[in-house]
Chain A
């Protein structure tokens, strides 16, 4: 399966091609090149998928890992070396399929959405860079390679958020996203380095082999600050994952990241990059399970909190993309929680499988939601849902696909979200009831805010718009086809028998729908949808009344619990004032001054000896003569003549 390396090389080559050619090629041509390149990647991904799952993947009922390519990159010592390679196993192939499919669809959508924007070539080059780095991330054979690509996706996310670099908001948002994720990645890096210091390897296979025997034996008994080093390491790695996956309190960059072009948000900040944190934890799951169970508990705690937090905030937001961003935060935390509560082996590991399943279905319906939102924004030129309304009449296809995505995300059977959410809820129901009840509340909140969004945008009454009503029309065919395709994925994606392909111990197992849990979740969903319908379907002022009734609490939630302000305060007061200013003083007064003084002294010396270099020949001769006389005198004295 050596051809699998092509899937990384092609986007990379296209990135260079488009990046170097720049404006020398026509914009539609660059879009076409990018789309075709990703199309080839899709084909390769599906071929790999077919070959792995139906031909060569299974030996003795176990999905084995295939490493078609591996070479040494840095060789430090015999035990410590950094490899680059490709690792094929069920979850990486699942990610491969998701990433290539969604990015292909997003590319096609962009052909319509980005038409006529200046810098389209740049956009497609960045998208290719992103696809390259994301594929490199999921195919990584070792944690260091993953880290490299981890940073690369961070960079491409930064570039795409700041795509409209003339807007100050976009520039600020891109910087914020980069700095916050970089801050988290620092934890990740430290974690990797400590891990490799003890285990002398970066390799995933080595780390998870024999139920993480390497980690448990080599790092046993090492204690730092009252916690074992194992806990430290895996908590630090989780911080990296939390930064990328927008887990509280490092989620603040994601809502702002919506300043980028909407298709890029759909690809990066909904479907692929933000789930890389979940993917990382899933990749290292056996280590987490066997070596550091405390960290898993922490993940469950933080994940549940973030999921609740995200869905509460999503209810009050008025920016269509912000609502979706908080929904993403909530759903990703769902996946994190699922990994956290999972057991190991067979049916015990069904939550792990459910997490991957939810990742899979979420990628499709969330990118569908984003693309639908993009179509709406493209039409009405605003993000504020208070300025939309009644758009169903004008864009029925978009509306229906958005509706399908809403049904899917809230988990109405038989849409895809139902299956994956049901698995998570079932697993929680039997292992951690408290978590289950919170997750159930979140299901209700999700259905409420999603339908609030849907009704406010597509139904309700038509509000004052920036554009003429005559101009309202359905989007172009290039933007509709992706919506339809993604709708199909959202409807039928749940039928994939995930438990056959993905499990904690690589063995297939069977799951069935637990109807008690499903029944409860359906009731909660109905409550959510009905209340949303009651409040938002028709024009009325009930919602404002409730907002006024809630008073302060509403305001706090609307301002996202003032977390941005808290972080800003932390940065301004703690980091800038307490750390940066003393350092700046030291730099200015001690380091700069010492260098300046040195320079001044040298300058003075050079001024005083500058006169010797007059350029007057006769003066030189005089000095020469003086030298000769002096030397003669000295030699006379030394020889003792005088």
Chain B
């Protein structure tokens, strides 16, 4: 079985890559992508902790699903805003 730490290393990397992108990117879609990366890193953490530390419970898994749904809807809203901004202003640079 793969060790828990590997998962955590991957998620940490994802999280900080997300932060880096969030801070440095000027394109709003890139910022959105970075945001998704951060959220997904957190969801990996949920799933991993649940799987390894509390195998008999499913709260972490549910939280992950919950997070995925929220992420999806949030992406929808954000994209709608970005498209509207593009239509009115003409660019999506921050």
Contacts and interface: CB of A to CB of B under 8 A. Distances in A.
- Interface bin, chain B: under 10
A618 B19 contact: no
A625 interface: yes
Nearest to A622: B23
Nearest to A617: B94
Interface in A392-427: none
Interface in B1-60: 19, 22-24
Contacts of B94: 617-618
Contacts of A618: 22-24, 94
A622 B24 CA distance: 10
Contacts of A625: 19, 23
B17 to A, nearest CB: 13
Contacts of B22: 618, 621
Nearest to A619: B23
A149 B2 CA distance: 100
- Of B19, B22, B23, B24, most A-chain CB atoms within 10 Å: B23
B33 to A, nearest CB: 15
Contacts of B24: 618
Interface in A617-641: 617-618, 621-622, 625
A621 B23 CA distance: 7
Nearest to B16: A625
Interface residues of A, number: 5
Contacts of A621: 19, 22-23
B93 to A, nearest CB: 12
A625 B19 CA distance: 9
Contacts of B19: 621, 625
Interface string A591-628: 00000000000000000000000000110011001000
A551 to B, nearest CB: 96
A622 B94 CA distance: 15
A622 to B, nearest CB: 5
Contacts of B23: 618, 621-622, 625
A24 to B, nearest CB: 55
A166 B23 CA distance: 70
A621 B19 CA distance: 9
A627 to B, nearest CB: 13
A618 B22 CA distance: 7
Contacts of A617: 94
Nearest to B31: A618
A618 B25 CA distance: 9
A622 B16 CA distance: 12
A618 B27 CA distance: 12
Nearest to A621: B23
A617 B22 CA distance: 10
A484 to B, nearest CB: 89
Contacts of A622: 23
A617 B23 CA distance: 8
Nearest to A620: B23
A627 B58 CA distance: 33
Nearest to B22: A621
A618 B24 CA distance: 7
A206 to B, nearest CB: 82
A622 B22 CA distance: 9
Nearest to A618: B23
Interface in B60-94: 94
A322 to B, nearest CB: 82
A617 to B, nearest CB: 7
B14 to A, nearest CB: 16
A625 B23 CA distance: 10
A621 to B, nearest CB: 6
A49 B5 CA distance: 112
A611 B24 CA distance: 18
A617 B94 CA distance: 9
A621 B34 CA distance: 13
A551 B34 CA distance: 107
A1 B22 CA distance: 89
Nearest to A616: B94
A417 B18 CA distance: 108
B47 to A, nearest CB: 23
B53 to A, nearest CB: 19
Interface of B: 19, 22-24, 94
Given A618-B22, A621-B23, 7 more contacts: A617-B94, A618-B23, A618-B24, A618-B94, A621-B22, A625-B19, A625-B23
11 contacts: A617-B94, A618-B22, A618-B23, A618-B24, A618-B94, A621-B19, A621-B22, A621-B23, A622-B23, A625-B19, A625-B23
Nearest first, the 5 closest Cβ-Cβ pairs linking A and B are A618-B23, A622-B23, A621-B23, A625-B19, A621-B22
